[in-house]
A and B are shown apart, each in its own frame.
Chain A
């Protein structure tokens, strides 16, 4: 069965700092998605990465995909409190979306 692993599971960081969330997956796929979820809310699509080497940026978040390493990263630059949420990566195999365990991010003032 496909495994999608995120690390860290929990991340507490200070405002203004940089950090990276990692998403490793166990099968060949060139479709990787990132979502954000606020507590008790729905999942919001952040990035769609559809090829090896794809890089997308939106504000303080940047996502990249290395299909050969089966790795995607979500980099946070100069974190602000509004980024506090749970972030999920998801791998699309063409049949299913497999979600990672999620990374709960708390940005501390």
Chain B
């Protein structure tokens, strides 16, 4: 158990809908990363937050947004869902940012868009 908690573990929704994925980082970790993993795209970095502020942005679609709250949990919002958004979404956390510490992954949220 990495200490990173993600909910829900599985989610099935229809095209055009909106979902929210939630992540609680390890105790004491200030950075949260979101990744998307699909068979054809591999592990894609979406976005990083550090202590409530956006720190880095990767290949995140405009239909997707995220935030990190004062208690350091984070949410990834996916809207106007398309079939191609079906993937495993990981949250990871890190003690600092750019600190040389590894990042710890949650168990992921399986999203299926039908």
Contact = CB atoms under 8 A, between A and B. Distances in A.
A31 B108 CA distance: 25
B100 A45 contact: no
Please classify how large the interface on chain B is, using the bins under 10, 10 to 19, 20 to 34, 35 or more.
20 to 34
Name the prevailing secondary structure of the B interface residues: strand
Contacts, number: 50
A87 interface: no
A31 B92 CA distance: 17
Interface string A45-77: 100101000000000000000000000000000
Interface of A: 31, 33, 35, 40-45, 48, 50, 88, 92-99, 101-102
Interface of B: 2, 33, 35, 42-43, 45, 48, 55-56, 58, 88, 90, 92, 98, 100-108
